[in-house]
Homo-oligomer: A and B are copies of this chain.
Amino acid sequence: MHADITPGRNPYDVDLGPNDANYVPLSPLSFIRRTASVYPDRTAVIHGNLRRTWAQTYERCRRLASALAQRGIGRGDTVAIMAPNIPEFVEAHFGVPMTGAVLNCLNTRLDAEALAFILAHGEAKVLITDREFSPVITQALARLERKPFVIDIDDALAAGGERIGQTTYEDFIKVGDPDYAYRLPRNEWDAIALNYTSGTTGDPKGVVYHHRGAYLNALGNALAWGMPHFPVYLWTLPMFHCNGWCFPWTVTAMAGTHVCLRKVEAAAIFAALAEHGVTHLCGAPIVMATMINAPAAHKRKFTQKVSMMTAGASPPAAVLERMEALGIDVIHVYGLTEVYGPSVVCAWHPEWDALPSETKASLKARQGVVYPVEEDMMVADPATLAPVPRDGRTLGEIFLRGNIVMKGYLKNAATTRKSFEGGWFHTGDLAVRYDNGYVEIKDRSKDIIISGGENISSIEVEGVLYKHPAVQAAAVVAKADEKWGETPCAFVELKPGAQASAQEMIDWCRRHLAHFKCPRHVVFAELPKTSTGKIQKFVLRERARTA
């Protein structure tokens, strides 16, 4: 229940142990309780014409928790959610853990097969799902032997879809107790969230977060960003990505306002900036591209200071300049699902402001240094764990260590152990380190393509291509793309005598993969191999540039 203490002879270890007065498990649940108590009437969420205060939102979270508990949901159970960035998703970040259960946010871009795998592997007992996703969820549920209890969110702003569940979210929470006396977790190490990552191997891996890490990274975001009280936060980053990088908890801790957004569209973004006084937003580079390339008619004026946190690919100088011209400051962070989203930040030095914009951009392109709440980072030889010199040239793998590193992968002890080998989390990302300690990623971990902020496992795509009857060998690499950051580019060797078109390959992939994972380009060619027969992806990456 309490932190362990080591008894000893010295007086500081005697009669000074933890008790109910001086020890409380760290949990982001403490944030909503305080905010609802101190600022009950401030606006917690904005969604279309809907406004709810913190008192109302807190009450709805407790109703949700109470209703889940009435259905027998408790410690260690999994509750999944499939939704865009709507108020119910914010509520789930509190209502679910209030029962002791674990929130499993589903990536709305996944196909039925991947969703079914995740629901089965995570053993979800309840699934909360937005009407708009009923087609793919219906297919996913059909594949499950043990089906979860399904709750429909019947959002007035949802486009299409139908109710497929046993009840609706509103009916479900109606029976919940608004004063439900939930408890903090027995232990701050208890799981709070489960996030599946495509990773580099075939099946998604379930990354488990604990209350302690969620609490610390929620505060870490505020500290790293220098976030003031009462941020107005626009939800341009999917909440299913690492729990929205922990911002459901950060914004709540800072007594801010969650401005919801079902779809990341330029008109809606600028409307929120102009009408709701948005001060902060997050997103992949695609969000910046969407804003910069918006038609002039959509670009509404706003006067407040706005800051945007981005990750996934380094923002180029031109993008930074055009964002600045829009009146938006950009902060560059780096992270992975395994480290609660962002845990590295390109911490800015005020004196850099005076540098030429190209130099500033090259400094901002660096991933940077660890968050205040993460302990340590190194760039090191993956085999020996010897740190590389701080010369800005020697490539090594990024390793992280600290309190915002996951508990591990669910039901996957071998991979968990491997990812923590040597007492560091192995990110798989390759970087250099500069003399000022800032790191810069030079190469993605070999098998991941990041498209529109989504991770695509090239191995997964290759697996599908290999199943095509005409394919002898296939390799998929990232191709730089102005809009998406990267898109998958497939190199295919056909079987002797076999014939196939690029479109045929793309159609084949679309039948077996989520749309965003499918190659945009297909090149038929003999694959370059090393003497030991390993495909030389670095050669293909070079070729993909001009493909």
Binding site for B on A (CB under 8 A): 1-6, 8, 10-24, 26, 30-31, 34, 37-39, 75-77, 102, 123, 186-191, 208, 212-213, 219, 222-223, 226, 228-230, 253-254, 347, 349-350, 369-370, 372, 375, 400-403, 405-408, 410-413, 416, 420, 423-425, 437
Q: Give the Cβ gap from A390 to chain B, nearest Cβ, in Å.
A: 11
In the complex, the answer to whether B15 meets A401 with C-beta atoms within 8 Å is no
A37 to B11, CA, bound (A): 35
* Residue numbers in B under 8 Å from A186 (CB-CB): 6
With CB as the reference atom, state the residue of chain B lying closest to A368.
B38
Complex contacts, A420 vs chain B, CB 8 Å: 19-22
Contacts of A10 in B (CB 8 A): 75-77
Please tell me which one of the listed residues B187, B254, B400 contacts residue A4 in the complex, with CB atoms under 8 A apart: B187
A44 → chain B closest CB, angstroms: 15
A347 to B229, CA, bound (A): 10
Indicate which residue in B5, B254, B412, B423 contacts A20 across the interface (CB closer than 8 Å).
B423
Instruction: Report whether A226 and B223 are in contact in the complex, using a CB–CB cutoff of 8 Å.
Output: no
Q: Which B residues are CB-close (under 8 A) to A18?
A: 189
Given contacts A228-B228, A347-B38, contact A23 B223 (CB under 8 A): no
- Please measure, in the bound complex, the distance between the C-alpha atom of A222 and the C-alpha atom of B223, giving whole angstroms: 8
Point out the residue from B24, B34, B208 that lies within 8 Å of A372, measured CB to CB.
B34
Contacts of A406 in B (CB 8 A): 22
Partner of A3, one of B20, B31, B212: B212
Stoichiometry, as copies per complex, reads: 2
Contacts of A20 in B (CB 8 A): 401, 420, 423-424
Closest to A123 in B: B11
Q: Nearest CB to that of A411 among chain B residues?
A: B11
Q: Given that A37-B437, A189-B5, A228-B228 are contacting pairs, would A13 and B76 also be in contact in the complex, using a CB cutoff of 8 Å?
A: yes
CB-CB nearest in chain B for A253: B372
Q: Are A31 and B76 in contact (CB under 8 A)?
A: no
Known contacts A350-B230, A423-B21, A12 near B403 by CB under 8 Å: no
Cross-chain contact B12 with A102 (CB below 8 angstroms): yes
Most B-side CB within 10 Å, residue of A1, A2, A38: A38
Least CB distance, A422 to chain B, in whole angstroms? 8
| B4 & A425 in contact (Cβ 8 Å cutoff) | no
Partner of A22, one of B21, B30, B410, B425: B425
- Closest chain B CB from A142 CB (angstroms): 24
Q: How far is the CB of A43 from chain B (nearest CB, A)?
A: 12
Q: Which residues of B contact A405 (CB under 8 A)?
A: 21-22
Per the bound structure, the CA–CA distance linking A229 and B226 in Å amounts to 6
- Contact indicator B15/A76 (Cβ below 8 Å): no
Contact of A403 among B8, B24, B424 (CB under 8 A): B24
Please name all residues of chain B whose beta carbon is closer than 8 Å to the beta carbon of A3 when the two chains form the complex. 3-4, 187-189, 212
CA of A39 to CA of B352, assembled, Å: 12
Nearest chain B CB to A331 CB, angstrom units: 11
CB atoms of B21 and A370 under 8 A apart: no
Knowing A38-B369, A403-B24 are in contact, say whether A30-B375 is a contact too (CB < 8 A).
yes
A22 to B408 CA separation, bound complex (whole angstroms): 9
Collect the chain B residues with CB atoms within 8 Å of residue A229's CB.
226
Query: A369 to B30, alpha carbons, bound, how many Å?
Result: 14
* Cβ of A249 to closest chain B Cβ, rounded Å: 12
* A15 to B406 alpha-carbon distance, docked (Å): 12
A462 to B1, CA, bound (A): 44
- Asked if A12 and B212 sit within 8 Å, CB to CB, the answer is no
| A535 vs chain B, min Cβ distance (A) | 31
